[in-house]
Amino acid sequence: MSATRLADRTPHVEADELVAAMVPPPRFDRVRFDTYLPNPDEPSQAAAVRACREFAERVSAGGDRGWLGSLFKRSARPDDKPGLYLDGGFGVGKTHLLASTWHAVPGPKAYGTFVELTNLVGALGFAETVRRLSGHRLLAIDEFELDDPGDTMLVTRLIKELTAAGVSVAATSNTLPDKLGEGRFAAADFLREIQSMAARFTVVRVDGPDYRHRGLPDAPPPLADDDLRARHAGTPGSTLDDFAELCRALARIHPSGYGRLVDGVTAVHLSGVRPAPDQAVALRLVALGDRLYDRDIPVAVSGEPLSELFTDEMLRGGYRKKYLRAISRLVALSR
């Protein structure tokens, strides 16, 4: 895919590739527990490192993935739970800790975002997904959220079946597990399913300010259109898109394909940036921003600043935390 516009790219991922591709993104290839630098003013961060280390050691000590190994792992301590859930604001290093946990555990193992996991089920079917993942020691899920009733029923059942098969699950989120879905759909109607899933996790809180903006300057102002085109022309491997056209193109691609969409791109240039016109577009931009951040791809824009990508109404709604995370990551990429 060598098109100089993202809107002209047509990423396609085969079902078998989805399983093989379930590894941490390039930004987190080399992270380890020792490379996480806890903020000395936030003791919960050092405590989270210890909790993740202990969890990884317990999962690794499970040894054989047969029934005997599962029995040994489950009998480690009566209060041990099969899941570890890192809860905290954006920019505190939860994904760093999740990827470090994944690296510390021997395979078979899988790592993916929540949206990639739900897409895997859609591509393979529920039973086949359970079959393929049941032999794993660890499933790591980044950006865990329940955005609609379908996701809720699907993922709560999936985690129940995988943990029953002996799979350990580690997850990150901006929302406590028993509060998932609040403000987005009638979560109270699914309270039993949500609470049943939440009971399988030990929750570890990670507090602190957003490290991406600790002592750093504000994002650079948007460029003039001519300057944006000149920067694109001088950056081999970069793309240049009209913002509105890209938003329309993203609607044709499942968000799980956004990583493939930006593979090999050296920088992204967007002209005519303006606030997202509706929630559906906004959530696609969040997913795209996450994949750009995973790959450390710089972003330059003309039009409105990236900090104005989501309206005040959106920032007051149920997806507030997602939007703030996206702004944090995109502003960091624009520096």
pLDDT at residue 194, rounded to an integer: 64
Looking at the structure, tell me whether residues 225 and 202 fall in a common domain.
no
- Would 261 be classed as within a structural domain? yes
- Would 252 be classed as within a structural domain? yes
- Would 8 be classed as within a structural domain? no
**Boundary residue ending a domain (209, 232, 248):** 209
For the stretch 3-20, pLDDT in tens is 689 999 988 777 777 788
For the stretch 99-125, pLDDT in tens is 999 999 999 999 998 888 888 888 889
Rounded CA-CA distance 250/169 in Å is 30
**Boundary residue ending a domain (180, 209, 238):** 209
pLDDT reading at 75 higher than 50:
no
Looking at the structure, tell me whether residues 217 and 173 fall in a common domain.
no
- Would 140 be classed as within a structural domain? yes
Average pLDDT of every residue of the chain: 86
Looking at the structure, tell me whether residues 94 and 169 fall in a common domain.
yes
Looking at the structure, tell me whether residues 126 and 66 fall in a common domain.
yes
Name the band, by pLDDT with cuts 50, 70 and 90, for residue 177.
Answer: low
Looking at the structure, tell me whether residues 254 and 198 fall in a common domain.
no
CATH number, domain containing residue 125 = 3.40.50.300
Looking at the structure, tell me whether residues 202 and 243 fall in a common domain.
no
Number of folded domains that form the chain:
2
- Would 16 be classed as within a structural domain? no
pLDDT at residue 88, rounded to an integer: 86
pTM: 0.75
pLDDT at residue 108, rounded to an integer: 94
- Would 170 be classed as within a structural domain? yes
Looking at the structure, tell me whether residues 191 and 221 fall in a common domain.
no
Q: Which domain holds residue 280?
A: 212-334
Q: For the chain, give the secondary structure using H, E and C.
A: CCCCCHHHCCCCCCHHHHHHCCCCCHHHCCCCHHHCCCCCCCHHHHHHHHHHHHHHHHHHCCCCCCHHHHHHHHCCCCCCCCEEEEEECCCCCHHHHHHHHHHHCCCCEEEEEHHHHHHHHHHHCHHHHHHHHCCCCEEEEECCCCCCHHHHHHHHHHHHHHHHCCCEEEEEECCCHHHCCCCCCCHHHHHHHHHHHHCCEEEEEECCCCHHHCCCCCCCCCECHHHHHHHHHCCCCCEEEEHHHHHHHHCCCCHHHHHHHCCCCCCEEEEEECCCCCHHHHHHHHHHHHHHHHCCCCEEEEECCHHHCCCHHHHCCCCHHHHHHHHHHHHHHHC
Looking at the structure, tell me whether residues 200 and 216 fall in a common domain.
no
- Would 330 be classed as within a structural domain? yes
Looking at the structure, tell me whether residues 297 and 250 fall in a common domain.
yes
Looking at the structure, tell me whether residues 135 and 180 fall in a common domain.
yes
Looking at the structure, tell me whether residues 46 and 70 fall in a common domain.
yes
- Would 15 be classed as within a structural domain? no
**Boundary residue ending a domain (209, 224, 251):** 209
Looking at the structure, tell me whether residues 41 and 130 fall in a common domain.
yes
